[in-house]
Structure 1
Amino acid sequence: MINPVLLKSFCTLAELGHFTRTADKLHMTQSGVSQHVRKLEESLGQTLLIRQGKKFSLTHAGNQVYQKGKQILQTMEELETSLQDDPEFEGEVSVMSPGSVGLRLYPDILSMQQTHSKLTVDYRFAPNDSVESHLSQGVLDIGLMSKLTANPKIDAKEVAKEALVLVTPADFDDCELSSATTSMAMWNQLKELGFIQHPDSAYQAALLLGANFPEFSHIDDIRKSGFSNQIGSILEPVSLGLGFTVLPAFAVDAFVYQDKIKRHTLPNPVNETIYLCTNREHVLPKRVIGLLARLEEWLA
């Protein structure tokens, strides 16, 4: 294998055509340059220079080594530069999260991109399973999940709690759940109203309704009165009186028509834990590390 130090000395000599200038440029002695050339010739088993006093000319082999050597040295230099060039606010970062967390974070991310125009954030809303799958495949830089994964490829850090909220139309009769009787009354009203489903509704409804209504067994026991897979649209049918739903608080906070919906305080609050996740097999560039820190700060 060719020693790159010897190759650099030889290519510099071939380019400058002078031992003294080569020694000065490489901060070496002339004898040191000559020694490098001899060692390179020995390692290749080829004569590279025809020496004529203080002058020299390249042999055919020497010219080949010079032409190819220049390309090799340039490639090595470019590689070293690209590895060292790791700016915090340049390049692309891919992020994926459930919709509610995305509604909370996306405005802050857009503001950050306005400040740092060379930073590009590819942000996608997706359910927990999709986030986990993309992280595991190594095609995603940052994932946020509301379920703790057991996948050994994924590092997960708890960064926030998000309350689950029971949301009904604004004119829904509110009653304080202080007894089994009032619990049954409200439960019957909810069943009559019907449930607006969404991709995570079965899981989230089971957590919140199961903790507060003894009558609850499965969300399928309640009449389905609508479905939306767009996080910004789930509360639209609720605001029109078409049903109730259970959503994380960030999604409820982001809904425009707050006067047309009603949040209900239940005796047993339920929170989802938000986890900030990366693929533990990846070496993270500065732009990813920087965004991770800001996401944690914004959620806190």
Structure 2
Amino acid sequence: MINPQWLRTFSVLAELRHFTKTADRLGLTQAAVSQHLRHLEGEFGALFVRKGRQLDITPAGQALLDYALEMEQANNRLTLRLTETDAEHGEIRIITPGSIGLLIYPMLLEWQIQHPGLSVRHRFAPDAEVLDAVLNNKYELGILTFKPDDPRIMATPFAEETLELVAPAGHKLCSWDDLMELGFIDHPDGQAMATRLFSRRFPGNAGIRSVPVKGYCNQVGLLLEPVARGLGFTVLPCYARQAFSRQDDIAVMDCGVSVVDQLWLIHRAEWPLSCRATVTVDYLRTQVDRAYQSCIQASDNNERNH
């Protein structure tokens, strides 16, 4: 049997491709990392090809990495089976996109306070990473902005999320010229979201690419900072706007028509959810539905007040 500590060291080294960073993550010395690798290479042959500071994994290394992933998945399945009937103890593992994550993470923490035997593991990630993490059993639950076409995945409707046009408080964006004058605060999904919303709000427009970009931020939790400071407008999901602390410094523009995304809860189809995950999902559905209604109401009030 392969020494599990050596295998863990190898897996992290394969991910980071850097001895010092691997040692830092694992709390080891660099000499210990090298020693673990030497033990494994003594048994399996060369696992990496060293080109200066660059590490390229060999076919033998890839085979060992696949084995390590299989062992991790087996351990996760064992842990799940041993605790799946206990609703109040064990780990809740969920991975989500940013906006819905900003909404549900505080809810999960409140749930954990109510059930101290639970441990919450949440990760923010784009759709592709969410799907990959659930497929590879790194997370039991995931939320996607699309319904995956994969027989290994069970997907059920989880929540709705409205796109919003958000401007600095005191600004009115009634025409395309208003958008051009104020400028756009972009983000990784910004142009796609703006295109979808503006195709309905401003039909026949010149396209979001024609609007001056006044800034860019890839952290959804910070995206409204430049908007609140008067530097531009943005388009983002309502839950991200709702999580912003300084609501008085921003205004949600009335776009006349709604662009609503369906969010999907996913998990592996081969086995049922653990009892604790099932109970937690029921709790989240109730809380998110209330938050959505509050979000819509707050948007209406925001528009009237500004």
- TM band (smaller chain): 0.5 to 0.7
CA shift for structure 1 position 86: 3.2
TM-score by length of 2: 0.64
After the TM superposition, which residues 252-271 of structure 1 pair with which residues of structure 2 at under 5 Å, given as runs? 252-271=241-260
- The partner residue of 2:225 within 236, 242, 245 is 236
- 1:200-224 per-residue CA deviation (whole Å, 9 max, x = no partner) reads 2122212211221124454333222
- For structure 1, the residue ranges without an aligned partner over 5 or more in a row are 1-78, 176-185
Question: Whole-Å Cα distance in 2 between the matches of residues 221 and 277 of structure 1?
Answer: 37
Aligned to 2:212: 223
| SS at structure 2 position matched to 1:290 | helix
Q: What secondary structure does 1:120 align onto?
A: strand
Identify if the C-alpha distance between structure 1 residues 158 and 85 changes in structure 2 by more than 3 Å, giving closer, same or farther: closer
Structure 1 residues 245 and 174: CA distance shift in structure 2, 3 A: closer
Alignment of 1:195-214 (within 5 A): 195-214=184-203
Query: Alignment partner for residue 290 of structure 1, among 256, 279, 285?
Result: 279
Residue aligning to 1:161 = 160
**Residues in 2 aligned to 1:114 and 1:208: alpha-carbon distance in whole angstroms:** 39
Cα offset, 1:232, TM superposition: 1.4
Q: C-alpha separation between the residues in 1 aligned to 2:84 and 2:183?
A: 56
How far apart are residue 258 of structure 1 and its match?
A: 1.2
Instruction: Please tell me whether the aligned partners of residues 195 and 245 of structure 1 are also in contact (alpha carbons under 8 angstroms).
Output: yes
Q: 1:156 to 1:225 in 2, by over 3 A?
A: same
Residue 170 to residue 118, structure 1, CA distance change in 2 (3 Å):
same
Go from structure 1 to structure 2 and tell me whether the alpha carbon gap of 1:153 and 1:171 turns closer, same or farther (over 3 Å shift): same
Residue of structure 1 in register with 2:105 after alignment: 106
Cα shift at 1:171: 2.5
The change in CA–CA distance for 1:153 and 1:163 in structure 2 (over 3 A counts) is same
Query: What are the ranges of 5 or more consecutive residues in structure 2 without an aligned counterpart?
Result: 1-77, 290-306
Tell whether the 8 Å contact from 1:168 to 1:244 is kept in structure 2 after alignment: yes
Structure number with bigger Rg = 1
User: Residue 120 of structure 2 aligns to which amino acid in structure 1?
Assistant: V
1:245 aligns with 2:230: no
RMSD between aligned alpha carbons? 2.0
Cα distance in 1 between the residues matched to 2:137 and 2:207: 35
CA-CA distance at 1:146 after TM superposition: 1.8
User: Which residue of structure 2 aligns with residue 131 of structure 1?
Assistant: 130
Deviation track 1:250-297 (CA, whole Å, cap 9, x = no partner) reads 111111111111111112211111111111124422122222222222
Number of paired residues? 210
SS in 1 for 2:188: coil
- Distance in 2, matches of 1:282 and 1:126, equals 24
Distance 2:163 2:248 in 1: 19
2:176 is aligned to 187
* Pair 1:111–1:213, CA change in 2 (3 A): same
Identity %, equivalent residues: 36
